[in-house]
A and B are shown apart, each in its own frame.
Chain A
Amino acid sequence: MNLKIVVMKKMPVLYERRQIVTPGDLLAENDYMAGENTFKENGKIYATRVGLVNYENRNIYVMALKSFYFPMVGDTVIGKVIDVSLIGWMIDVKAPYRALLRASDVLERSFRPQRDDLPSMFDVGDIIIANIVASDRTRGPLLTIREPGLGKITRGQITEITPTKIPRLIGKKGSMISIIKKETGCQVFVGQNGSIIVSGKSPEDERLAIMAIHKIEQEAHTSGLTDRVAEMIRKEKNEKKEVSGKHV
């Protein structure tokens, strides 16, 4: 028994970096701070989600492998108009709560219900990019489109990945996403809520970019992914060329 306690003290972190943990796994004791996806009870830190454990200085946290989106102020999200109400639009942002986009925000002046026709601006089914300006425990998130680059999306394809893998999709200083953009020639808009819009010159390019995005989602927890993605896109493009060449 004594021996066990000594071992624990020498090794306050019980997992290596990037090891997979499951809810309830004891990650560390005492001196550490409980970060994302962990909780502390009686001086012990446990994981709350399936993910990869990591620690920086005294902070220990878990990068979840699968999760849902939880709205945070400042996030850019991609959503779908699901209802036109009396004061604005209800937007589905793939979160536990429906988001509200106010009519006055879009009009950039106060809203006059008798004269302003909301469905002519955004109708049910429209896809919009917006920023979250407010979100707390008592109300659903409030959106704004009054910033450059936000608003209705009229072209491209939409796809979804689990929101915790967005940082992996973007990569260190945008390395991963820029490879996809460069290799496929598509524009890629990434919402923090896991929705992604890909718009390129042809549906083929878009399909290729979406394939790469899903490859990243599936293999997010493996290393050397950036090179593999670049390789995959090039290979697919060459195959396309060969096939079309034969037809001509």
Chain B
Amino acid sequence: MSKKKVKKLINGKGIRYDGRKLNELRPIKLEVGVLDNADGSAYIEQGKNKILAAVYGPKEVHPKHLAMPDRSLLRCRYHMAPFSVEERKSPAPSRREKELSKVIREAFEPSVFTEYYPRTSIDIVIEVLQADGGTRCAGITAASLALADAGIPMRDLVSACAAGKVEGHLVLDVADLEDKQGEADVPVAYMPNLNAITLLQMDGMLTSEEFEQAINLAVEGCKQIYQLQKEALKAKYVEVKEAKKEDAEQ
């Protein structure tokens, strides 16, 4: 641990410890429809993060007293697998996981048309298989695809990305090490087409100018992720189409 502390995270040329520029995202891989038993699902790899998201519903609410007569009940469970971090994590939901479940649910509430399906529930399950910082954002990015894959009507896809301050520099997409040693972390969830922020948190110290810059930086990151999300959703169907075209040509 002390060895890691000594390590310099950003060199003189503005290159980060993992070779990224200050405003560069980690490599992202997205896949839609990976689970057969869920109504919708998605998988994301962002740097060393590996996260699965599944969506169930709309379906009847259990327990029944939670059902609402005018809209669907949106529920979310963010959970980290015991093997997702260096030291085994207890599988019981921690205070942090409960809080993240709540803020992630709130990040989706403005997007999902819950009023279309009264007396039902829509359940989002996010399982972190491997964590490397920014799991709430990557989880939102994946869950958004899982919702779209389940055929649940949405105003817009939600993309999420964090910005932060590390060794005096504002950086995009904060990794675990940068988050632990850095000065501040600002996770943002954003609906790009509607230009609306649905989640905004801050941990650490920033001046008000820096805070504004950090939000703008994170929003730019979200816009990049949004393009990847759209590609991933289309890829599932475009592949079939192209394969058939080739067949026809042969």
Contact = CB atoms under 8 A, between A and B. Distances in A.
Interface of A: 20, 22-26, 37, 39, 41, 46, 48-50, 64-68, 70, 96-98, 137-138, 162, 164, 218-219, 221-222, 224, 228
Contacts of B117: 70, 96
B57 A49 contact: no
Given A50-B233, A64-B151, A97-B119, A24 B240 contact: no
Given A20-B234, A97-B120, A25 B148 contact: no
22 contacts: A20-B234, A22-B233, A23-B154, A25-B193, A39-B113, A39-B153, A46-B156, A46-B193, A48-B113, A48-B155, A50-B234, A66-B150, A66-B151, A68-B151, A96-B60, A96-B120, A137-B118, A138-B118, A218-B240, A219-B240, A221-B240, A222-B241
Given A96-B117, A219-B240, A48 B149 contact: no
B193 A26 contact: yes
A152 B67 CA distance: 32
B151 A49 contact: yes
A46 B59 CA distance: 25
Given A20-B238, A22-B234, A98-B60, A48 B120 contact: no
B97 interface: no
Given A65-B237, A96-B120, 5 more contacts: A20-B238, A37-B153, A50-B234, A67-B151, A222-B244
Contacts of A70: 117
A38 to B, nearest CB: 9
A22 B39 contact: no
B157 A24 contact: yes
B191 A24 contact: yes
Contacts of A96: 57-60, 117, 120
B69 interface: yes
A22 B191 CA distance: 13
B74 to A, nearest CB: 14
Find the residue from B40, B113, B153 having the highest chain A CB count within 10 A. B153
Nearest to A66: B151
B148 A22 contact: yes
B1 interface: no
A159 B69 CA distance: 33
Contacts of B234: 20, 22, 50
B164 interface: no
Interface in B99-123: 113, 117-120
A17 B153 CA distance: 21
Contacts of A228: 244
Contacts of B155: 23-24, 39, 41, 46, 48
Contacts of B154: 23-24, 48-49
A67 B150 CA distance: 6
Question: Top 10 A-B pairs ranked by shortest CB distance?
Answer: A24-B156, A67-B151, A48-B153, A96-B58, A24-B193, A23-B154, A96-B120, A222-B244, A22-B233, A66-B151
B192 interface: yes
B230 interface: yes
Nearest to B58: A96
Contacts of A164: 151
A68 B237 contact: no
Given A96-B120, A97-B60, A221-B237, A22 B150 contact: no
Which of B151, B192, B193 is most buried by chain A, counting CB atoms within 10 A of its CB? Answer: B151
Nearest to B40: A66
B195 to A, nearest CB: 11
Interface in B164-197: 191-194
A64 B230 CA distance: 15
Contacts of B229: 22
B248 interface: yes
Contacts of A138: 69, 118
B219 to A, nearest CB: 15
A138 B69 CA distance: 7
A224 B117 CA distance: 36
B100 to A, nearest CB: 23
